Amino acid sequence: MVLVIGGGVSGLMTAWILLDKGYRVTIVAEEWRQRGDKSPDKKADRMTSQIAGALWEYPPGGCGLSEIEVPVLAYSTLAQYRTWALQSFLFYKLLAENDSLVAEKNRFGARMITLYQFFQKLPAPPPSEDQNPQGERTQEADPEWKKAKNAIKYGPNDFNIQWGYRHQAPVVDTDVAMEFLMNRVRDKGATLETRHIREDLHLQERELMDDFKADIIVNASGLGAKVLASDNQVFPVRGAVRRMTLDNNDNAALDGMDLVLLPAQYDTRNQPGKTVFIVPRNEKTTVVGSIIQRNNWDLALTLESPEVEDMWKRAHGLVPALQTRKPSARPLAQGLRPFSHSNVRVSADNRTASCRVVHNYGHGGSGWTLAVGCAWTCVTIVERMLHRAEAGSVANANVWGLGGHRGAD
């Protein structure tokens, strides 16, 4: 039996794979998905996994500055992020194809659309064909690029766009997908319990395992890992999105572009720039973001907050066609991206030789981009630990070279 802590995309994806492999699973979380615009409680805020764009981005993602901070000491490298992202890409692509074949109530909520990614300075190192097999550079002769250039404020007096590429990318309607994931794990037999877990898991591992009759614990608690893993490298990056709608419910492409991303880049003084992302979430709603504010825990932004106004001005400054949208019923969503200075952590906790906790947290602004790949790695570590325990050994999972580059973990 596996106890999964966390009811966000990381916990539910991990639980889904475990259930498919025949494990019994209990998921404990203090917060679950809200039913979005359908929620009877209009004040209820969506959880972080719902607030996400959720756009798939080839790492390092643009929405959260550089996702990869200290590759040498980190739990995971850029190469690992890319593998996880590509695993997730393939899975969402399959789900998007499946969505077009099944009844609405059975849909996951994924779509493949064309992402136009623009840069104000050349990213370093520049993506090459082999680094981003999905990508296409800007082609002056390409009529699609001509259309795109006309649709945005491209030139030196506006956004001074230097470079760009486009490719097919999955976009997930997170309200639909979180509902799908909850139903999926329930149908497959998971038990769901609402509970706040206090303190480091390390201190209460035995107690929790006895309470839940669990053989092992997966910690997919996002920012909660700051406490549950006593990890002071975990920190929030506040973000917000405006939710816009069209009167006629026809979420037409923005002058030929499905989805626009201008990632935050560092300027010549090494100061972080600002980002724009415009993501059509479904036929009705376009999500417009975003804000990147490190170490800010305060979720009290309003439409009138200066940074929200600035975000909106920036977005319709870049793509003027956006101004035809109207604010949707719940026009602002805000959340805390669960970042870690040590990058994503999918690894066993080895603070004691007998520890039976596997971590899956620190996904920052890329939780959906990485979710499927991270869940597979997490399950692989869980299985190896269980297998070794059965064989009478209690050595930790990093012995097999999985889930982390920090030798000490």
Ligand X SMILES: Cc1cc2nc3c(=O)[nH]c(=O)nc-3n(C[C@H](O)[C@H](O)[C@H](O)COP(=O)(O)OP(=O)(O)OC[C@H]3O[C@@H](n4cnc5c(N)ncnc54)[C@H](O)[C@@H]3O)c2cc1C
Interacting residues toward ligand X by CB under 6 A: 5-11, 28-31, 47-49, 51-55, 63, 196-197, 220-222, 224, 228, 239-241, 289-290, 335, 337-338, 361, 363-369
Nearer to ligand X, 53 or 145 (CB): 53
Nearer to ligand X, 145 or 345 (CB): 345
d(C-alpha 54, C-alpha 282), whole Å: 11
Q: How many CB atoms lie within 10 A of CB 147?
A: 13
Q: How far is the CB of 208 from ligand X (least distance, A)?
A: 11
Whether residue 400 is annotated as binding a ligand: the answer is no
State how far the Cα of 325 lies from the Cα of 261, in Å rounded to an integer.
18
Confirm whether residue 367 is marked as ligand binding.
yes
Report whether 388 belongs to an annotated binding site.
Answer: no
**Beta carbons within 8 Å of 290's beta carbon, 6+ residues apart:** 53, 63, 239, 240, 241, 275, 276, 277, 311
CA 72 from chain centre, in angstroms, equals 23
Residue 6 counted as an annotated binding residue: no
**Residue 241: DSSP 8-state:** E
Helices vs. strands in the chain: H and E counts, helices first:
9, 15
The reply, when asked if residue 337 is annotated as ligand binding, is yes
DSSP string, 145-175: HHHHHHHS--STTTT---EEEEEEEEEE-HH
How far apart are alpha carbons 11 and 91 in whole angstroms?
Answer: 17
Helix (H, G, I), strand (E, B) or coil at 209: helix
**Nearest CB to ligand X, comparing residues 164 and 289:** 289
Q: C-beta of 360: minimal distance to ligand X in Å?
A: 7
Q: Is 368 marked as a binding-site residue?
A: yes
Q: Which is nearer to ligand X, 76 or 145 (CB)?
A: 76
CB of 315 to ligand X, least distance (A): 13
Least distance in Å: CB of 337 to ligand X? 4
The residue (of 263 and 338) whose beta carbon lies closer to ligand X is: 338
25-29 and 191-194 beta bridge pairing = parallel
Is 364 marked as binding a ligand?
yes
To ligand X, the closest distance from the beta carbon of 404 in angstroms equals 17
* Binding positions: 48-49, 337, 364-369
* Binding positions for FAD: 48-49, 364-369
* Binding positions for D-dopa: 337, 365
